[in-house]
Amino acid sequence: MVFVKVEQLKPGEKLLNDVLTPLGSTLLLKDKVITERDIDILTAFMVKQVEIVSTPEHSLKQEDVEAGQNTQLTKQEQTIIAIQREYEKMVEMIKQFSHYVIANQSLPLMDVRKQLSNIFVHISDYNPITFTPASYNRGDYLYHKSVLTSLTSYLLAQWVGLPQKDWMQVALAGLLIDIGNLKIDPVILSKPDKLTEEENSMMQRHTQFGYQILRSITALNEGVKLAALQHHERVDGSGYPNRLNGDQLHPYSKIVAIADIYHAMTLNKVYRKPISPYLVLEQIQSDAFGKLDPIYVRTFIEKITKFNIGTTVKLNDGRVGDIVFFERDHPTRPWVSIQNTIVNLTVERNLHITNIIQ
């Protein structure tokens, strides 16, 4: 085996192991014969090096090389690179929010809206399950969660039938729900251990701090401001800070709550590794009985698990196969064909999909 920097990688070399994105999704499978197109994708996802098969000639059979001669990027791959670029710009932009809040200055909302619009050009190619930030470290967790929650909330607003005039406002709500964390002690935010009762009480105040920061901004409608205050409320009245029930919650709050929970659990944190998106969806589905809006939850799960028959997936036991059938009542547990054997995930509950093969 040989470790090779991506910039030194040559077409025709073969991967010894799967190549993963920074969040653990499979980008390229082992035994893949590298092409110029693959190198471009690895570069876009900021992969530094890969492990390849070593041969005496440090190359492969001619037929393997010829099989990978199509080096032109597909439209889908160009879109992935473009959305990653705009996404990273959005992350960098919200990193600057602390300066505005500390200085008690207005947030640059026109620039924020423009940058979100640049991402939304590609929104039809964004799926919360398959999208993985090209560059990610756990210290930037809150920034990534904010942007991802924004994108997912934008889609969910459409899926549940909100008017188009609300879509951007819902996206802003998702982006800004955690802005109150800028008023929280960074030591508490990054603490790797369980919070004390006092620290947890302070942490919960980020909802009120967020509302206070946003309430005087006329460019934001009331739903955006209430989402910052209410996104930890639950329809059964068990949430915080005011223990409101479903009838008292703004629709924006119900939407961003789902997106917020999903990305909080699937991203890598200082104190916890990411959880499989499919397990998270099952958890969200169980929470729909009393805590989350059940109609919004059902719509969310049905939409983001709606992959085509033939989609290649990886299971938690390491096996790779193709989706061949969906049961309507179990969208997170399709039937998967692995080496001509059908694995019914509805029956085999110990197995689950870890990711979609990019």
The pLDDT, as a whole number, for residue 42 is 83
pLDDT of 72 reads 58
Contact of 68 with 60, CB cutoff 8 Å: no
CA distance 262 to 128: 9
User: Is residue 74 exposed (0-12), middle (13-18) or buried (19+ Cβ within 10 Å)?
Assistant: exposed
Q: Distance (Å, rounded) from C-alpha 257 to C-alpha 247?
A: 15
* Amino acid letter, residue 9: L
Please give, one letter per residue, the 3-state secondary structure of 230-246.
HCCCCCECCCCCCCCEH
Helix, strand, or coil (residue 326): strand
- Whole-prediction pTM value? 0.81
Eight-state DSSP code of residue 317? T
312 sits in which H/E element: strand 312-315
pLDDT, residue 102, reads: 85
Q: Where are the beta strands (DSSP E) in 6-163?
A: 19-20, 26-28, 49-52
- H or E element, residue 67: helix 62-67
Fold (CATH) for 2-73 = Molybdopterin biosynthesis moea protein, domain 2 (3.90.105)
φ/ψ (deg, to 5) at 119? -75, -40
pLDDT of residue 1: 56
Q: In the prediction, which pLDDT does 65 show?
A: 42
Written as tens digits, the pLDDT of the chain (358 aa) is 577 888 888 888 888 888 887 666 677 888 888 888 788 778 777 788 888 886 554 444 444 444 444 445 677 777 788 899 999 999 999 999 999 988 888 899 999 999 999 999 999 889 899 888 888 888 899 999 999 999 999 999 999 999 999 999 999 999 999 999 999 998 998 888 889 999 999 999 999 999 999 999 999 999 999 999 999 999 999 999 999 999 999 999 999 999 999 999 999 887 788 898 999 999 999 887 789 999 999 999 999 988 778 888 899 999 999 998 988 888 899 999 998 899 999 999 999 998 887 5
Name residue, tokens 């005039």: 165
pLDDT at 308 (0 to 100): 74
Tokens found for residue 274: 């990411």
DSSP symbol at 318: S
Burial 161-186 (b: 16+ CB within 10 A, else e): ebeeebbbbbbbbbbbbbbbbbbbee
Structure tokens at 320: 């790779």
| One-letter amino acid for residue 35 of the chain | T
pLDDT given for residue 93 in this prediction = 95
Choosing among 3.40.30.10, 1.10.3210.10, 3.30.360.10, 1.10.10.10, the CATH entry for 76-304 is 1.10.3210.10
